[in-house]
Amino acid sequence: MTGIPLQYRIIITENGPYQVIGGVPLIQRAPAMSVYGEPLEWDPVGAAVEKEEPRSQYRLCRCGQSKNKPFCDDSHLTNGFVGPLTADRGPTAQRRKTYTGTGVVMTDDVSLCASAGFCGVRFTKVWQMIRRTDDPEVRARLLSMVSHCPSGRLMVFSENGEPIEPQFVPSIAAVHDGPYWVRGGIRVEVPDGFAYEIRNRVTLCRCGNSKNMPFCDGTHEQIEFKAP
């Protein structure tokens, strides 16, 4: 990723919050649902969490129990939160399965799934649609669905290998009852100095219960996590 302010960083503190450095814009987002309960797209722009200029540094809750969500209120110090970083540190390309269509190639890193649900509707899913991308309408719909995947589990490439990615202003979106959606290629570091692969779309756990820390694995849905 290029053009990202060098000071934009997220540092994961040991058994504590995400320390966000550099004045990264913080907003709210929520999926727009169909009458059948299917997520179709993300709401427009999203409301800013802070109305004033973003603070140069702030802490985001990682244990899921702050009374001041999305910000940390030090609840982790008294609730026994332990958040070991168990996710694979290797590049996502090593884990991706490839699906070749007509004019496009879709890849899938299932370990990054945040269960956002944009990958399918009640009639079909992208894994079936990729086989029908000779139809321009199907191909366009698949590109739209993949672009809404917040975690980057799904990616689409052109035939010459160029990624077809949504253009994000670097920011963090606190998803309603869901994860932190880190957009635009922001560096995520751990206490020992290691930095995860920089990606355009990343979802970080904020319910405190992911089995793939620091990344969201959809557990927030299973435990009915609430972050209004």
197 within domain boundaries: no
Percentage, residues of the chain above pLDDT 70: 93
Question: Is residue 46 over pLDDT 60?
Answer: no
Contact indicator for 116, 151 with CB cutoff of 8 Å: yes
Strand, coil or helix: 219 = helix
pLDDT higher than 80, residue 49 = no
What pLDDT is attached to residue 43? 85
Residue 2 neighbours by CB under 8 Å, 6+ apart: none
The whole-chain average pLDDT of the chain stands at: 93
Q: What is the pLDDT of residue 55?
A: 76
Q: What pLDDT, on the 0 to 100 scale, is given for residue 191?
A: 87
47 has pLDDT over 70: no
Does pLDDT of 60 surpass 70?
A: yes
Look at residue 109 and tell me if it is in a domain: yes
Asked if the structure places residue 134 within a domain, the reply is: yes
Distance CA 152, CA 109 (A): 8
What domain range is 138 assigned to? 94-158
pLDDT above 90: residue 5: no
According to the model, what pLDDT value does residue 165 have? 96
Is 118 contained in some domain? yes
What is the side-by-side strand order in the sheet with 9-12? Answer: 57-60, 18-21, 9-12, 187-189
Contacts of 66 by beta carbon, 8 Å cutoff, 6+ apart: 72, 73, 75
pLDDT grade for 228, boundaries at 50, 70 and 90:
confident
Instruction: Name the H helices within the chain.
Output: 126-129, 136-147, 219-222
In a domain, 71, yes or no: no
pLDDT at 90 over 90: yes
197, two tokens: 């692969």
Please tell me the predicted confidence (pLDDT) of residue 188.
97
Tell whether 150 is covered by a domain.
yes
pLDDT tens string 112-160: 999 999 999 989 999 999 999 999 999 999 999 999 999 999 999 998 9
Burial class (CB in 10 A: 0-12, 13-18, 19+), 161: exposed
Query: Does residue 70 have a cis peptide bond before it, meaning omega lies within 30 degrees of 0?
Result: yes
Q: How far is 180 from 183, CA to CA, in rounded Å?
A: 9
Number of domains the chain is built from: 1
Those residues whose C-beta lies under 8 Å from the C-beta of residue 3, and which sit 6 or more positions away, are none
Whether residue 102 lies inside any domain: the answer is yes
pLDDT tens per residue, range 185-211: 999 999 888 999 999 999 999 999 999
Q: State yes or no: pLDDT of 36 exceeds 80.
A: yes
Show the tokens assigned to 140.
């366009």
**Which of the four pLDDT bands, split at 50, 70 and 90, describes residue 177?**
very high
For residue 64, tell me if it sits in a domain.
no
